[in-house]
Amino acid sequence: MARPTMADLNTAVNNVFAAIDADQRELGARRASAALADVWTFLERQYKADVDFVVTDATDATLAAFFAASGELYVALDRAPQVGDVFQVGGTGDTTDNALATAKGSAVADGDVFEVTNTGTPAVAYLGAAGDLDFTGEEVADFIW
């Protein structure tokens, strides 16, 4: 089974929030909502910190080329990229069509972390900067009061 993407996790958490928010009169609903927010923060940070590999320059022409057998993403993995693969950029390189910058919304920086979100029509999502994502040794309980 493929690992869920951040979008999958976001949808699941939003569905739980909606169920809790639908009945705010229930005892503990606000506390449950706050606890879920803390767990979501933990999951998101752990997910972003789970970098599968580092891409050094990302100089392929397009994401399709980046994902192809001779592309840097494929070569770094030694296999075809899969939805849910998380990679870090080890420099400021981008594909020549600026696909990573487009996903991020600004220029690529050393340490940016991206997730493969589609392989049929190659797509990635920006997850954050690696330096912000080190939670080694922390547990869910560290984020819940």
Write out the DSSP string of 32-48.
HHHHHHHHHHHHHHHHH
Can you tell me the mean pLDDT for 32-42?
70
Can you tell me the mean pLDDT for 58-73?
84
**Band (104; pLDDT cuts 50, 70, 90):** very high
Residue 19 belongs to domain spanning: 6-50
For residues 39 and 105, membership in a common domain is answered with no
Check residues 135 and 111 and name the one with the higher pLDDT.
111
Q: Which pLDDT score is estimated for 46?
A: 61
Domain membership flag for residue 20: yes
For residues 88 and 25, membership in a common domain is answered with no
**Band (48; pLDDT cuts 50, 70, 90):** low
Q: Which pLDDT score is estimated for 102?
A: 93
Domain membership flag for residue 143: no
For residues 60 and 120, membership in a common domain is answered with yes
- Going by the DSSP 8-state scheme, the letter that residue 2 receives in this structure is P
pTM above 0.75, yes or no: no
For residues 43 and 59, membership in a common domain is answered with no
- Going by the DSSP 8-state scheme, the letter that residue 88 receives in this structure is E
Question: Count of domains in the chain?
Answer: 2
116 φ/ψ sector (left φ>0, alpha ψ -120 to 50, else beta): beta
Can you tell me the mean pLDDT for 98-106?
92
Highest mean pLDDT among 34-43, 112-121, 132-141 belongs to 112-121
Can you tell me the mean pLDDT for 134-144?
50
Of residues 91, 44, 98, the one with CA closest to residue 66: 98
